[in-house]
């Protein structure tokens, strides 16, 4: 079986890509167009599960409005194969060479990652990600890979991912979520990103992506690992900034409870779903 990722194509460009990755502002990152083989990317987009199915976990609170599906067993076959390829030893070795981070570890649990989808009105406030895996306490999160699967996406619908400087003063880079474009970036305490403006796509359209996260071993004390850190933008009102901060604190409590007791997001999803339907 031929790999779904075109290694021969990307290997020839790797030295230059690695330099671009390190040099890009506001933190190491790169956007790669035509990331997978064209027919594979199109098949993955066409197989993407509809938002109305019950398999989705709902993430709906003050700082985000999106759907997630992290269970590999629920993925349509082609999407499962793509996820497996991007978690394979060969790809992770390639990713280590691109990023300059040795000994990256893929996450077969797809914790916090997997399939993501946002319908009209969906958003994700600017944030940095949780620093350690919830179920592997010595895994430190290092790299994000987001593969966009949106054929025919119109830029006027919004949904471009914004990369902000570490002081949250300005957006330094912005990328439209086009089909078969992959954004790869370091994830740490300064890697602020999100799509904070509600989507304006028509009903029936959605912003779709496959997200994979990669780790390294960290033998230090991880009890002080950081949760998702949402931040207000300079143009946000004081009231909105306060709601972002309060919700962030609630997410932090939930994240620490999740890491301590080992429960999944299913229960929280059901509660959020009930609240959303009541609204």
Establish if 2 belongs to a structural domain.
no
CA distance 101 to 26: 18
Supply the pLDDT for residue 226. 82
Supply the pLDDT for residue 150. 98
Question: What residues form DSSP beta bridges with 114?
Answer: 211
Contact 85, 4 (CB under 8 A): yes
pTM over 0.85: yes
Residues of the chain below pLDDT 70: 1, 221-225, 254-279
Contact 160, 189 (CB under 8 A): no
Establish if 17 belongs to a structural domain.
yes
Residues spanned by the domain of 81: 7-272
Let me know if 251 is exposed, middle or buried by CB neighbors in 10 A (0-12, 13-18, 19+).
Answer: buried
Supply the pLDDT for residue 277. 42
Question: What residues form DSSP beta bridges with 30?
Answer: 184
Q: Which CATH number characterizes residue 79's domain?
A: 2.60.120.620
CA distance 239 to 79: 40
Establish if 1 belongs to a structural domain.
no
Supply the pLDDT for residue 155. 97
CA distance 21 to 34: 17
Establish if 278 belongs to a structural domain.
no
Contact 68, 174 (CB under 8 A): no
CA distance 155 to 202: 12
- Helix crossing, 38-46 with 77-86: angle to 10°? 130
Supply the pLDDT for residue 272. 44
Cα of 244 vs its chain's centroid, Å? 19
Establish if 101 belongs to a structural domain.
yes
Beta strands in the chain (DSSP E): 29-32, 57-61, 64-69, 105-106, 114-118, 123-128, 139-148, 161-164, 171-175, 182-186, 192-195, 207-217, 229-230
CB atoms within 10 A of CB 52: 8
Establish if 72 belongs to a structural domain.
yes
How many distinct structural domains can be found in the chain? 1
What contacts 59, CB < 8 A, 6 or more positions away? Answer: 65, 66, 67, 68, 265, 269, 272
| Phi, psi torsion values for 119, nearest 5 degrees | -95, -175
Supply the pLDDT for residue 271. 44
């Amino acid at each position: 079986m031929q790999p779904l990722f075109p290694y021969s194509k990307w290997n020839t460009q790797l030295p230059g890509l690695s330099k671009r990755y390190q040099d890009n502002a506001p933190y190491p990152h790169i956007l790669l167009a035509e990331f997978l083989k064209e027919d594979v990317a199109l098949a993955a987009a066409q197989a993407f599960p509809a938002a109305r199915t019950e398999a989705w976990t709902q993430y709906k609170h003050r700082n985000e409005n999106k759907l997630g599906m992290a269970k590999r067993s629920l993925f349509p076959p082609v999407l499962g194969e793509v996820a497996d390829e991007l978690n394979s030893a060969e790809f992770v070795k390639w990713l280590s060479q691109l990023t300059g981070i040795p000994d990256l570890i893929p996450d077969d649990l797809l914790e916090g990652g997997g399939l993501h989808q946002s319908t009209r009105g969906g958003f994700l406030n600017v944030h940095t990600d949780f620093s350690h895996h919830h179920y592997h306490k010595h895994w430190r999160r290092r790299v994000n890979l987001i593969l966009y699967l949106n054929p025919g996406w119109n830029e006027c619908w919004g949904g471009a991912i914004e990369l902000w400087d570490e002081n949250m003063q300005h957006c330094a880079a912005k990328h439209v979520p086009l089909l078969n474009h992959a954004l790869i970036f370091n994830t740490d305490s300064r890697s602020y990103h999100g799509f904070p403006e509600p989507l304006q796509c028509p009903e029936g359209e959605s912003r779709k992506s496959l997200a994979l996260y990669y780790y390294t071993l960290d033998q230090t004390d991880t009890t002080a690992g950081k949760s998702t850190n949402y931040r207000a933008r300079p143009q946000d009102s004081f009231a909105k900034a306060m709601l972002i901060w309060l919700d962030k604190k609630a997410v932090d409590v939930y994240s620490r409870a999740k890491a301590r007791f080992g429960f999944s997001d299913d229960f929280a999803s059901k509660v959020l779903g009930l609240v959303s339907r009541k609204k």
